Structure 1
Amino acid sequence: MVLPHVVITVTETGALEVTVDGAAFPAPAEGQVWTRGTLGALLDAITKDRTVAVRIEVRESDGTVFTDLIHARKPTPPQPAETKQRKPRGKHSKSKQVPELVEVTGEGFVPGEDIAVALVLAHTNATGTGHARALLDTSRLAGLLDDDAGEVVLLGRVSGTVQVRRLP
């Protein structure tokens, strides 16, 4: 698979000249130009709201060049509008659920790295000291814990550190 190659050239005036695989990528409206302030909107437009991975190369006016990869993410499905009265979900649902949180911790992670929390219910980031902390809503675990699946895995996406913890 070949990633689209985006080249962003910063001009002396601060405007951005953008090409995708060698073809010009114009600003959304005639008379507008891409700027550093519109970089987020530019990247969203190129990556189709981060659903397409791309290779980015930024060429500064002083000759400095930066490169990066923007990874695609799974699109989040639209959430249905809230109704006045929620219907219970499953046999463990209560009419008014109050979250009961369980803390899971681990160490040995790279500071700031993305940590996968598996049964992948959530993600968290490592602290500046390399520690990770996840708060889990036990109502989301209903039915799973009843089947003796009371373990959580913390997986460092950069370091590869794996911590397995039994839930209390």
Structure 2
Amino acid sequence: MVLPQVVMAVAEDGSMTVAVDGTHLAPEPLAPRWQRDSFARVLDQLTEQRRSPMRVEVHEADGTVFTDIVTPGKSRRPQPEIDHARPAPKVGPELVVLHGEGFVPGEDVAIAVVIAYGDAAPDGTMRGLLTADQLATSPTREVILLGRVSGTLTIEHPE
């Protein structure tokens, strides 16, 4: 089986072009040009339309090239907004917050021992949440955040 190939080229201004198997794709009519922060949404749409894994190449303006295989079917639910002005009542499990930097905006970031995935924000940062119980099962208490496109690796030792 030959995987469809997606090539995404990011320009200096953050705009992005997309081609699948050599055929240029454009955003919907009247929609703005794709930007770097459109990355995850475009890949989700392409894999959902084709219902097939895809080989993805990202060509950065500085000449850096990242490759990955992206598969369809991952359900993404939007993160709820949190009102930090008023403390929330303590309900449910205690969460551990993870932070990392240097990720490609919108890329999938693995949280290892891989129990979840999160998306990088438009500024390339990542915020993940684990329950204290999930962290307690790790004998080393180490958590790895791994950018699946950029290859960025962050090792956390949350308290």
TM-score by length of structure 2 reads 0.47
TM-score by length of structure 1 reads 0.44
Which is greater in Rg?
Answer: 1
